[in-house]
Chain A
Amino acid sequence: MSTETLRARLRLPGLDATNGVWPALAVALIVGGTLVALDGGSLFSESSTISLLQRAAGLGIVAVGQTIAILAGSLDLSVAYVISLTSLVAAETMAGSDGMVLPAILLVLVVSAVIGLVNGLLITKLRINAFIATLGVGLLIKGYLEQGYAGPAGSVPVSFQHLGYDRLGPVPLSFLLFAAVAAAVWFTLRSTRYGHHLIATGGDLDVARLSGVRTDRVLIRTHVICSLCAGIAGLYLASRLGAGAPRVGAEGGYDLESIAAVVLGGTVLAGGRGGVTGTVGGVLLLAVIDGVFNQLEVDSFFKQMVRGVVIVAAVAVYALRLRRTSDRRKAAVA
């Protein structure tokens, strides 16, 4: 057996050597933990761990959806508004009644799936650039929200708030939901035809099409799933807030932040390379940075700057690596 085969066999899912997000996370934990400890706090206390995981959950669910959109060579800028909209749909449908929880969940899933379908159709059938198509759909939703809502609306029954507040030991239920979504998508990418076709579509649309992949369907399906993830995040936020909030998505910056998490996780923006495990790392990294700065009570502007630096640095490192490996490949041929 060649070493190549061995390596391929031994490789853990997504934890390949090219993924730098895990070492970065370790560094962030060590450095951040030390800083917080010097400040007299603890990054690893139960309360801060819980809030860290909770922060990760909301963004994480969106980012998993964003991962497959980007892997497929697309992207979704409407997720932030989908989150706001679905939080309202959930809270208003439930209207404080336990009996309406299930119908509300179903309605949210339908609404988000339809938005994803529209995104997908605009991109594949009308051949509108994904950036513009999803931005347009997002703005459309934004307009609707601003027109119809001045502030929080609807109310979530206590029974549904368990999702936002319950936990198993130190692990919030919401984080488990994130882990489940991530695992489901990971498995889909690895072991279903759709998953293989998705990565192929992102890798090279023409190659995929000429090999018999129905790339339009793949892209539409991907956008539906991506939107569904945003819908699930909307449900989570509604249960957390106890009501629907028309600006929760945009204010949380879920659109760009989810893209940042995906990129930090090593998924290439052009598509075709990367995966969900990296995104999980990216989400955790962003959450840790957040947690550290919250504990240190640092100015939020400074926090934003640090995140910016981290993201740019990460992408620079990936780009550098990519160039090195391609150089090495050229040199190997030479």
Chain B
Amino acid sequence: MSVGVFILVSVIKSLIVLIVLLTAVAYTVWLERKVVGHMQNRWGPTRVGPFGLLQPAADGLKFLFKEDLTPPHVYKPLFLAAPMMALIFALTSIAVIPFGNSIPIFGYSIPLEITDVNIGLLVILGVTSMGVYGVALAGWSSNNKYSLLGGLRASAQMISYEIALGLSLVGVLIQSGSFSLRNIVEAQAGRFLWIIPRWNIFHGQFIGFFIYLMAAYAETNRIPFDLPEAETELVAGYHTEYSSMKFAMFFMAEYANMITVACLATILFFGGWNGPLAGPPIVRALLPLVWFVAKVFCFLFLYIWVRGTLPRFRYDQLMSFGWKFLLPLAIANLVITAIVVAW
């Protein structure tokens, strides 16, 4: 593949992934409102389009046309930069996530991901760990006590849960022996005990998955760990002072993070695009993508389900849960996995 073709393919892939991701973000919001609505015996959005399907477009237009307020008491450079940082880091991490095997197009074999890095998992961890700056700086630069408390909570919470998150992934790394997300998925192909798929969650990493799930909820600031924006105590937390498109950026960043976390959970614990294949070649080529999307969808549904079910933790409960329960559990899981693999 020549350099020109490579750049062209990369740009096209980036554009497609970005468009699909942003559409998915918009419809995750719709899904959330619809599902939570049905859980609470309401209808959710119904007015705009069939089943309210055009609601995301209406929301986007509303965000665009709202007045963009910048309160006079804020620290302006960071106030403007914070939402952009949050959104940029949220969108960047999707770049190394593989969605499926290579598909042949015009004689070239195109891998279904923007770029294949052999330290893909570390790249994602690095980018998501930078994501906290958007939230923390937004809280600080707003010059408002509720925002500041939200920002402080966010940074403390993210640092605490990042440790458990990282340790929960080490078990998977030991089993597959690679940082490359593609290799991790390929290590999960096949079955054991005749029928059970060899996905990591069935193959010894159930506790690891549990820790990952908890830590991921805290990392994405979702209920039951959405302390940084707890509206009952902090007005709206770190984005109290934000309006219009700047608020929309935080909103999009949160949902993009959810999707990344769901993709990562699918890849690491649920076998990625592995699944039964059947039918003519074209179906065989596209079926892995369908499996991948279906698994990610299940995760997003789980997110919403939890949001509709659980109350919010108290802040001290959150911290002691992270440090006194998840962290020791993650270390124990790591030690046991290492012993089993070595043996």
Q: Do A and B bind each other?
A: no
